[in-house]
Structure 1
Amino acid sequence: MTTNPSCLVVVVPCSAAKLSTTAPVPAADLSVGSFHRLCRRAAHAIAGGTGTVLVLSAAHGFVTLDEPLAPYELRMGEPGSVQPDQLRAQAERLGLHHARQLIALGGRAYVDAVATVRPDVLRPWPAAAASASSATGCPALPPPSNRCSWHKSSRTLEFACPPIRRPLSC
C-alpha cells in the first residue's frame, strides 16, 4: 500500500487480547480487546469511505488490516517491540509522509510512537483518558452505540460508533 497524498490515515493500537489461534490471521481479526475494537470503530468513522485505517502492532509496526499476522505477546515499549527507526522506514515505504492527515488513536505509548514518524499527528483523545481506558476496559470513554463523528474544527471525537467495517483504500 502506498498512501494517496489526499488521503486521511488513522492508526489504531493492537491489543494484548488476541484471537485464540496459532495460525496467521488478518491484522483486522487478530486483536480482539475492547479498547482496540473501540479505536477501530472510531477510526472507520473518521476515515469514512476514502481514508485508510492501519494497526500499529507492537511487534510488527504499521500493518494493513488485511496483513496476516501470527499471535504475539508484546506491548509497545517492551524489549523487542518495534523501534522508531523501524517505524520511520515503514512509514516511508507506506507513504505516510504523503498522507493529507495522520490521526493516532490509542494509549500514550502508541500515539507517541506514531508521533516519531509524523510530529504533526493529530491526537483526538487526551492521552490520560486513552491510557486509562486501555488499562481498565474503556470506562473513561463513552461506550459505542450507533453514532460517531469527528469534528475537524475542534479536533475532537464524539461517540457513539458504528459497527466495525473494512474501509476502502484511498
Structure 2
Amino acid sequence: MTANDHLDCFTPELVIIPCGSRKLDRPARAADMYVGSYHRACRKAADALQPDRLLILSARYGLLGLDDVIEPYDTPHGAADAITAHALREQATLRDILFLDPVVALGGARHVGLVRTIWPHARTPLAGTRGMGEQMARLAQLRTGRDAHLT
C-alpha cells in the first residue's frame, strides 16, 4: 500500500480548520472572512480531503459553517472572550457532530488542543511540525495527495 492509497480511501466526516488573524474589515461569510495565507492553505488542504463537513474554528465564535455571516473581530485563542471547550462542546452537540469519526483537525497546537477536548480521537496531520514553514509544506502535501499523515 502506498501513501496515496491511504488518502484515496480516506474520507473524513469532519474537517476543522483554524480561523486567522487576517480578516476582512466588514461582515462577511466565514468562508470569505479569513484572508491570511495560513488559513487559505488549511482550507485548500481540507477541500482536497473532500470531507462530509468542513467547519472553521473561530477563536471568538467557535464552530462556523462556511455560510455563517460574522462580524470581524480581534480575539486570539486563549483570550478572555475566546471560545471555551465547554461552549465548543455545546456547539458540537447542537450541530449533532459530537460523535463523528473520523475527524481531522488542521492547525497549530492551540487550535488542535481545543479540538481534541471535544474529539480526542481527531487526526492531526500537522502534529510534529516545527514551525509555520513545515506546516505549510505538509498542507501542500495534503493538497496534492502526497502525504500519509492521516493514518
CA contact (8 A) 1:55 1:64 kept: yes
Q: 1:121 to 1:57 in 2, by over 3 A?
A: same
Q: Which residue of 1 aligns with 2:14?
A: 9
Structure 2 unpaired stretches of 5+: 1-10
Structure 1 unpaired stretches of 5+: 1-5, 134-138, 157-170
Instruction: Give the number of the structure whose residues are more often helix, by fraction.
Output: 2
1:78 aligns to 2:79 (yes or no): yes
Moved more, 96-105 or 67-76: 96-105
TM-score (norm 2): 0.82
**CA-based RMSD:** 2.2
Q: 1:150 to 1:44 in 2, by over 3 A?
A: farther
Structure 1 counterpart SS, 2:145: strand
Structure 2 counterpart SS, 1:96: coil
- The whole-number CA distance in structure 2 between the counterparts of 1:99 and 1:150 is 25
Deviation readout 1:45-95 (Å, 9 max, x if unpaired) = 11x1x5211000000000101000000001111121001100000011112
- The whole-number CA distance in structure 2 between the counterparts of 1:71 and 1:99 is 29
- The whole-number CA distance in structure 1 between the counterparts of 2:21 and 2:76 is 7
After TM superposition, what 4+ stretches of structure 1 lie above 3 angstroms from structure 2? none
CA contact (8 A) 1:18 1:31 kept: yes
- Identity, in percent, stands at 32
Deviation readout 1:5-46 (Å, 9 max, x if unpaired) = x9610000000000132xx21000001111000000001111
User: Number of matched residues?
Assistant: 138
Q: 1:95 to 1:151 in 2, by over 3 A?
A: farther
- The code of the aligned residue for 1:13 comes to P
Q: 1:151 to 1:97 in 2, by over 3 A?
A: farther
Q: CA deviation at 1:101?
A: 1.2
TM-score (norm 1): 0.73
1:26 aligns to 2:29 (yes or no): yes
Structure 2 counterpart SS, 1:53: strand
Q: Which residue of 1 aligns with 2:64?
A: 63
CA contact (8 A) 1:59 1:81 kept: yes
Q: Which residue of 2 aligns with 1:155?
A: 150
CA contact (8 A) 2:12 2:104 kept: no
